Amino acid sequence: MVDPARPRPPQVFVNSGAAELPDDFIKHLVSGLADLGILNVFMDRDEWWGRDLDRIFTCIEESTIALVIFSPCYPEAEWCLDELVKMKERANNNKLLVIPIFFNVSKNDVRNFEGEFGDRFVELRKRYTKYKYDPFRVQRWETSVMTISRMEPSLTWETQSSSIPLAMDIIREVKKELDIASDPGFSLPLEFHNDSHSKLTNGEVFVSAFLVAFLFRLFIASLVFTDMTILRTAKWLVGFPVTIVVLYQLHCALTQRNRRAPDA
């Protein structure tokens, strides 16, 4: 979450990227944070459009806490997703606490790219792939969304009633996290670093295992086996990667259980 070794006045960066947030919500949020002594609150709203991302990244680097407000229209802003990548990088280095907030969208839709949120992200991917030239940028966006949307603590607002209670919940959560971070003995649990940021996806494991199987059959198998019948079938190229994926998931589950097991 927050690195207590670097003392600085608390600063909050609000990442939303859309004009869906009601004005009364923003006013109550900024006012409530000011009551906590957080006078520097940066909103990535329309006034940021057209500015150099380096300046926005500097604000993120100087922030103690980042509030990521996911909404159905969130994927429409490329610069907002670039901010998300930067926040994930800071969180990986234990320099930033990121609190995901699901505003009129479900956690499941964001985490699994489903519903209106998923449809808009698919549209962005198609549009970007057609006209842009950085094939890894969309992948970084997708990874950052998956990672940050699974961070805790998180807050959800899915009703059509006033959003002011959500602002109050955010203020209370920020106060609690600042109190925790001020504890000299506070540090991130090891599980947070390893599970949230380093775990490979099943697709990445499958592709890697498929390449290993293909290269093994192409260059090494003939030097080891006399009967190449099995290795020439599609069962080898598909079955081996699937087996590796299953074993990898089993390894992750056992590792996670061991970390959570109480000390003997």
DSSP 8-state symbol, 76: G
Which residues are part of the catalytic machinery? 83
Chain centroid offset of residue 204 CA: 17
Q: Name the burial class of residue 149, with classes exposed (0-12), middle (13-18) and buried (19+) by CB atoms within 10 angstroms of its CB.
A: buried
Contact present, 53 and 136 (Cβ < 8 Å): no
Longest dimension (CA), the chain: 76
Burial 84-120, CB ≥16 within 10 A → b, else e: bbbbbbbbeebbbbbbbbbbbbbeebbbebeeebbeb
CA neighbor of 40 nearest in space, from 168, 174, 154, 153: 174
The rounded distance, in Å, linking the Cα atoms of 142 and 253 is 23
Please state the length of the chain: 264
